[in-house]
Amino acid sequence: MRILEQLLLWRRMDVPGHDACGLWGTESGWCLAGTAIFALEGQPCHLAYEVDCDTTWRTRSAKVTGYIGRHVLGLSIVAMPGERWELNGTDQPEAAGCIDVDLNFTPATNLIAIRRLALGVGHESDAPAAWLCFPELKLERLEQRYHRLTLDMYDYQAPSVGYAAFLLVSDIGFVTQYPGLWELEALQ
């Protein structure tokens, strides 16, 4: 049985596009599912995603299907024992040691680290993620740091990609304001 926790719609700010996402509680954890639709260098992109996490918010798997222009896409990401990762059945040593998955094309997956860390106000933590680079579609390690400033704001840093910003979040931890990238349009 799945229980709907929250639904969101974001508008992409750097290119034309949107992302609609929902979070469901399941008997064995959490399911994050959505669809990002946007333009990339004049090509239409349609990416449906689903991420499965256990009850402690550790990622178990993620799927991405859809298309980038005329290129049809089907990706399966699996968290293996020993914090190893596979992408379409192939070991991804670059992502070893990560607990969370982060899908580069959506703001939805920041929720995973935010919920797993459960930081109190004033606390901070590193949260390296198995990051699906887009549009390269490679899985690699993304160094990230979350510092919770208030109940609804984090100082977020991802130095390897040169991004740092104050992220606003919903009551359950979805990013609602991702400066320069995403902005919330609807929440239910």
Residue 85, pLDDT above cutoff 90? yes
Output DSSP code: residue 93: G
- 131: confidence class by pLDDT, cuts 50, 70, 90: very high
Q: Is the distance from CB of 49 to CB of 35 less than 8 angstroms?
A: yes
Q: Is the distance from CB of 59 to CB of 41 less than 8 angstroms?
A: no
CA 23 to chain centre: 12
**135 φ, ψ (degrees, to nearest 5):** -95, 10
Enumerate residues 6+ apart whose C-beta is below 8 A from 119. Answer: 125, 146, 147, 148
Taking residues 152-158, what's their average pLDDT?
98
The predicted pLDDT at position 52 comes to 98
The predicted pLDDT at position 2 comes to 86
- 29: confidence class by pLDDT, cuts 50, 70, 90: very high
The CA-based diameter of the chain, rounded to the nearest angstrom, is 46
Residue that the structure tokens 């990609």 belong to: 161
- 137: confidence class by pLDDT, cuts 50, 70, 90: very high
- 142: confidence class by pLDDT, cuts 50, 70, 90: very high
Element (H, E) at 186: strand 182-187
Residue 123, pLDDT above cutoff 90? yes
The predicted pLDDT at position 115 comes to 97
Percent of the chain with pLDDT over 90: 98
The predicted pLDDT at position 1 comes to 78
Q: Domain residue spans in the chain?
A: 3-119+129-142+180-187
Distance, CA of 97 to CA of 83 (rounded, Å): 5
Strand pairing report for 100-103 and 129-132: parallel
Q: What is the pTM of this model?
A: 0.94
